[in-house]
Amino acid sequence: MLMRDLSRPLETDIPADALLEVQHLTMRFGGLVAIDDLSFTARKNEITAIIGPNGAGKTTVFNCLTGFYKPTVGRLTLNHPDKGPFLLERMEGFRIAQKADVARTFQNIRLFSRMSVLENLIVAQHNRLMKASAFSLAGLLFMKRYAKAEKEAVELAKYWLDKVGLYERADWDAGNLPYGDQRRLEICRAMCIQPALLCLDEPAAGLNPRESLELNDLLMSIRDDEGIGVLLIEHDMSVVMQISDHIVVLDYGRKIADGDPLAVRTDPAVIKAYLGEDEDEAIPEDIVQDLGLSTRTGGTKQGDGGNA
């Protein structure tokens, strides 16, 4: 250990099973510090949730991870189980999905709305199909290898559509689906790139309680059956507390807590961030239940994280 290669992190720095490692991530927009020296780790076969009030910088973390923003400072390491480590902050936007297999969804759904549900899932397999068809040339010449590759792509799409109950509507325009189905379709589309890490930006937003429960099952099945890591931004506490293995809490771009659900929901800093500092008033009953607190005093000011 005398001679250390400085471009690679020390072996001992990384927990053996770390899939994603965020180190000292800082993102500034002019004078605004959207993320301030954030470090955390996400593991394979786990759901890591990032929570925090509106404007805390959660979406910005995703945008840095998936190459839409270039971090001001910081190192983002993805330890791909098959392909080895990638330094995401140095990669061009689309290559993060292409090479490092990081998939994401968007807070405001971004489907190809005038294309069919099935086409959305086929487009997600673009790179694989391009390779199989020699940049579409084999397809232009009606060669078997493209037909075969396309058939496999349809099979994968079918697998995911079956899983979320959209198989029957595979030929609908994506834009004509009901809202909840569009959210699910976006997750399917991200899964169709066969990611190592799946980043979901508020997947439960706008879902009714039943849909929200179905989503929990879907996310747990992705974690358990696909063996990948899931990074989840969520406002809905019931979702977060039930399914996440690990929670990172952001407030004004700073990490204020990090740990398993039980530790986080009893953390005084979290309670303060979510409920404010006013000691005089009782915490509303529903929030008490959501956070799983014993009755204590808190304040009335609350972030939007409290609504179920």
Binding stretches for Mg ion (CB under 5 A):
59, 107
Of the candidate spans 48-56, 138-146, 165-173, 211-219, the one that interacts with ligand ADP by CB under 6 A turns out to be: 48-56
Task: Assess 68 for contact with ligand ADP (CB under 6 A).
Answer: no
Q: How far apart are CA 43 and CA 45, in angstroms?
A: 6
Q: For ligand ADP, which is the closer residue by CB, 52 or 261? A: 52
Considering beta carbons, is residue 250 or 291 the nearer one to Mg ion? 250
Q: Is 29 exposed, middle or buried (0-12, 13-18, 19+ CB in 10 A)?
A: exposed
Location of structure tokens 């690679």:
8
Characterize the bridge pairing of strands 18-29 and 32-43: antiparallel
Q: Does 59 bind ligand ADP (CB under 6 A)?
A: yes
**Residue span 105-134 as binding mask against other proteins, x where in contact by CB under 8 A, dash where not:** -x---xxxxxxx-xx--xxx-xx-xx--x-
Residue 123 binds: one of ligand ADP, Mg ion, other proteins, none (C-beta under 5 to 8 A by kind): other proteins
d(Cα 274, Cα 276) in Å, to the nearest integer?
6
Residue 81 near residue 277, CB atoms below 8 Å: no
Asked if 228 and 222 touch (Cβ cutoff 8 Å), the reply is yes
Rounded CA separation 53/200 (Å): 17
Nearer to other proteins, 169 or 265 (CB): 169
Residues paired with residue 212 on neighbouring β-strands, in sequence order: none
Q: How many degrees, rounded to 5, is the angle at CA 169 between CA 167 and CA 172? A: 140
Cβ atoms of 228 and 195 within 8 Å: the answer is: yes
Nearer of residues 101 and 251 to ligand ADP, judged by Cβ: 251
- Answer for which of 48, 60, 212, 244 binds ligand ADP (CB under 6 A) is 60
In this chain, which of 24, 54, 147, 206 binds ligand ADP, going by CB under 6 A?
A: 54
Residue 43 has which token pair? 């593991």
Which of residues 54, 176, 208, 300 is near other proteins by CB under 8 A?
176
Distance CA(214)–CA(56), nearest Å, equals: 27
Task: Decide: helix, strand or coil at residue 100.
Answer: coil
Residues shown for the chain: 308
32 binds, among Mg ion, other proteins, ligand ADP, none (CB under 5 to 8 A by kind): ligand ADP
**143 counts as binding other proteins under rule CB under 8 A:** no
Contact string (CB under 6 A) for ligand ADP, positions 13-32, x = contact: ----------------x--x
Binding mask 57-96 for other proteins (x = CB under 8 A): ---------xxx------------------------xxxx
Residue 180's H or E segment, with its range, is helix 179-191
Task: List residues binding other proteins (CB under 8 A).
Answer: 66-68, 93-99, 103-104, 106, 110-116, 118-119, 122-124, 126-127, 129-130, 133, 135-136, 139-140, 146, 150, 154, 157-158, 161, 167-173, 176-178, 189-190, 193
